[in-house]
Amino acid sequence: MSFQGTRQPARDRSITLMHVFLLASGAILLVAAITLSTVLGTVVRKQANTDVRADLGHVTGAVLSSEQTGSLLTDPALVSAISHRLMLDPNIARVEVVRKGQAPQRAATRGQFVFQRPLRSADGKQGVLWVYSNPIDTRQSTISRVRFIWLSVAFVFLALFAVLALLVRGASRALQRRRRALQQQSQALLDAYRRLEQSSLEAIESLNATVDAKDPSTAGHSQRVVEIALRIGRELKFEPARLELLRLGALFHDIGKLAVPDAILLKPGRLTPEEFEVIKRHCDDGARIVDRFSPLRPVVAIIRHHHERWGGSGYPVGLEGESIPLESSIVGLADAWDAMTTNRPYKKMLSLEEARNEVEGCNGSQFRPDVVEAMLSALDTDPEIFTPLESKPPEPSRRGQSRPRPVESLS
């Protein structure tokens, strides 16, 4: 069941996306804060520039009377006095009188504003009074305003980011709580599904066991086929998962005989051709029964084709050679071996040697060669599994077995 597996990555992605959203929002807010602070700082500096321009004109006009403007060109003492009075204003950096045709001693530095006032003396000399401001960026008032703007914007955007982070954190916690609740629900559903699977499997095994109950002469047939098939599978180096599929295919290989009438299934003599055609349908019937139960669908082909023959004369399809599933060939050989080594109403059991000769004689026609080779090798190393049932000492009765031992009455 994949309910939990399919939703877990989606929930993790949702939490990750929220964190990404928070980081992206923080980056956007940071860029917006820097941009806004820069724009506002520029506006403040421009306004300060305008204010300085107005202040320079106002201060210069207040200090310098019209009668003094001409005397500045000829009276150095007056220039010194005026300069001293003007520079009492903290916004003024220096004062310079430049006669016509001369150049200022020092050019204005970056951030300074220059106020110019024309001068004309009584004797007709001309010049300019240059008043230089302090750089706009070094003015305490400007610095304080810009700093206030940056701090205010930073505070506002940090508050917004904090609120956003709290919202994302709350959503993340809610999602995590929901995830834990869903995980618990998923686990509960998974446990219920497993219990349902187990109950369904037990129900199918119970149905399979009814074939055992119909004919005591084949009691334990399916379980013996399971043991023989698994021994062959291990000889062929099957992986554990493949061995489990082989076990299930061998266990339910005859479940289709539930649809065979008892008059045919329990007939003590040879079957007529018509009756044998009914028996042959048990492969397809068994496959259809098992196909309705999803955990057993991988073994449908094993059940449908376990009576196919290597030479192509088997049923229900007439497959031959490599087209027959390997597991079906193993179950078919194990089924035939148990049928040969147990007494049936219509025939007497064969000895171990006689059954071996039969298998070797049908190698390459009825049975798959590599499966025959694996079985004979297993027979030599582990003969107990292949020993005819009547040749084994009786086993002590087993009470309280949880799994029935289904059988086949006709192979």
The answer to which of 88-97, 127-136, 205-214, 217-226 has the lowest mean pLDDT is 205-214
Indicate yes or no: pTM above 0.75. no
> Is 80 exceeded by the pLDDT of residue 5?
no
Task: Please choose, from the candidates 109, 118, 158, the residue with its C-alpha nearest in 3D space to the C-alpha of residue 138.
Answer: 109
Burial class (CB in 10 A: 0-12, 13-18, 19+), 317: middle
Q: What pLDDT, in 10s, does the model give residues 201-232?
A: 787 777 777 776 676 666 788 889 999 999 99
In whole angstroms, give the CA distance from residue 84 to residue 62: 14
CA distance readout (Å), 266 to 29, 173, 323, 366? 85, 67, 33, 25
Lateral strand order in the sheet of 92-99: 92-99, 126-133, 114-120
Give the mean pLDDT of 373-399: 74
DSSP 8-state assignment for residue 1: -
> Is 80 exceeded by the pLDDT of residue 139?
no
- pLDDT value at position 236? 96
Task: Give the list of residues 6+ apart from residue 162 with CB closer than 8 angstroms, or none.
Answer: none
Instruction: Give residue 196's identity as a one-letter amino acid code.
Output: L
| Cis amide leading into 406 (omega within 30) | no
Give the mean pLDDT of 127-145: 72
In whole angstroms, give the CA distance from residue 254 to residue 303: 8
Task: Give the list of residues 6+ apart from residue 388 with CB closer than 8 angstroms, or none.
Answer: 341, 342, 349, 350, 351, 352, 355
pLDDT band at 278 (very low <50, low <70, confident <90, very high): very high
pLDDT band at 114 (very low <50, low <70, confident <90, very high): confident
Tell me which H or E stretch contains 116.
Answer: strand 114-120
Domains and CATH numbers, the chain: 1-206 (no CATH), 215-391 (1.10.3210.10)
Angle between helices 326-340 and 221-235 (to 10 degrees): 130
- pLDDT value at position 298? 93
On whether the CB atoms of residues 246 and 238 are closer than 8 A, the answer is yes
Q: What pLDDT, in 10s, does the model give residues 229-267?
A: 999 999 999 999 999 999 999 999 999 988 888 888 888
